[in-house]
Amino acid sequence: MCGRFILVQRLEAIEKRFQVEALADFPLEPNYNVAPGQYTAIISSAEPRKLQLMRFGLTPFWAKKDMLIINARAEGDHNKENRADFSGAKGIIEKPSFRKPIRSQRCLVIADAFIEGTTNEKLSKPYLVYLRNKVRPFAMAGIYDTWIHPVSGLEISSFAIVTTTANSLMQKIPHHRSPVILSPSSEKKWLNTDAPLSDITRLLKPYDAELMNAYPIAATIKSPSATGPSLIQPTGPPLEIEIEYKNTQYLTKKGMGNPKTSFHDHGEETLLK
């Protein structure tokens, strides 16, 4: 599963990378621990040229009460053993909570990195997983829905991250699942509601492990209220040796936030990459 991720990019960088526009007062602040129930930046298939805020944790439109479904399994009820080599049917298209969103309500979940724990110890033994060569931000495949509170009439738009089988890097953590990370060339297809469903389900595959890496971090991040750059400080070496060793800024905090509203000097940080 993928229950935590990081987004600390400047708003300008997100707009440029995804060719979208946000409102002048878009409330984006650096978040080193995006947790279920929190609002974060997404791009929806309904408005693919706009940056929106949506709640992490999906509630289906038909639900009788508010829910927080954070992940949607690409295999649905298939592959209950979580076999990494599973290549069968994508049962997500059959699940009641997901069969409508996967067809017409898809979104890009924007992140700089995501947090994953081991299968058994979960976030008591977390790892920060990132894309090599400073590829950030990137997009995870998401689906969304809008639920109306039966008493107050309040509308809540929320999303879940689509997960798939573990690639070789995720197996080294070890963890049995991975979020679906979309390549830039696949992002427009994911948002295109006219695309055949078979084309969409073909995107639900693990990302190339050679383009990823991970390092351990402190279990402090398991608390949804934990915040700040100290959460991503490494507590050990990366899982994979990278070709070049040098100190480099991984997630630079200077000036991150919303440049359209204010400037926050968060200082500098360097991590071993």
Q: What is the mean pLDDT of residues 7-27?
A: 95
Euclidean distance between CA atoms 21 and 201, whole angstroms: 28
Of the candidate ranges 5-9, 106-110, 256-260, 267-271, the one whose mean pLDDT is the lowest: 267-271
d(Cα 97, Cα 67) in Å, to the nearest integer?
Answer: 11
How many CB atoms lie under 10 A from the CB of residue 42?
23
Could you tell me the pLDDT band of residue 81, with boundaries at 50, 70 and 90? very high
- In this predicted structure, the answer to whether residue 271 has a pLDDT above a threshold of 60 is no
Q: Taking the CB of residue 33, how many other CB atoms lie within 10 A of it?
A: 20
CA atoms within 13 A on the CB side of 12: 7
Beta bridge partners of 131: 212
Residues annotated as catalytic are: 2, 116
Arithmetic mean of pLDDT, 234-246: 83
% of residues, the chain, pLDDT over 70 = 88
> Average pLDDT, stretch 80-92?
95
pLDDT of 241 > 80? The answer is yes
How does DSSP assign 212-238, residue by residue? EEEEEB-GGGGSTT--SGGGG-BSS--
Rounded average pLDDT over 124-139: 98
Looking at residue 91, what is its pLDDT?
A: 98
Predicted pLDDT of residue 1 = 67
The pTM assigned to this predicted structure is 0.90
Mean pLDDT of 252-262: 41
Question: What domain range is 89 assigned to?
Answer: 4-272
- Residue 90 to residue 138: CA distance in whole angstroms: 23
Number of domains present in the structure of the chain: 1
- In the prediction, which pLDDT does 258 show? 46
| Percent share of the chain, pLDDT over 90 | 86
- Mean pLDDT over residues 261-269, rounded? 31
Alpha-carbon distance values, 56 to 68, 172, 229, 243 (Å) = 8, 27, 21, 35
Mean pLDDT of the chain: 90
Checking if the pLDDT of 247 tops 60, the result is: no
- Which of the four pLDDT bands, split at 50, 70 and 90, describes residue 270? very low
Looking at 33-37, 147-151, 182-186, 246-250, which range is the least confident one? 246-250
**Using one digit for the tens of pLDDT, what is the confidence trace for 211-237?**
999 999 999 999 999 999 999 999 999
Q: What size, in residues, is the chain?
A: 273
pLDDT category at 244 given cuts 50, 70, 90 is: low
pLDDT score recorded for residue 159: 98
Query: Residues 197-206: pLDDT tens digits?
Result: 999 999 999 9
pLDDT single digits (tens) 150-194: 999 999 999 999 999 999 999 999 999 999 999 999 999 999 999
Q: What is the pLDDT of residue 228?
A: 97
DSSP assignment string, 36-63: TT-EEEEEESSSTTB-EEEEESB--TT-
Q: What is the CATH number of the domain that holds 60?
A: 3.90.1680.10
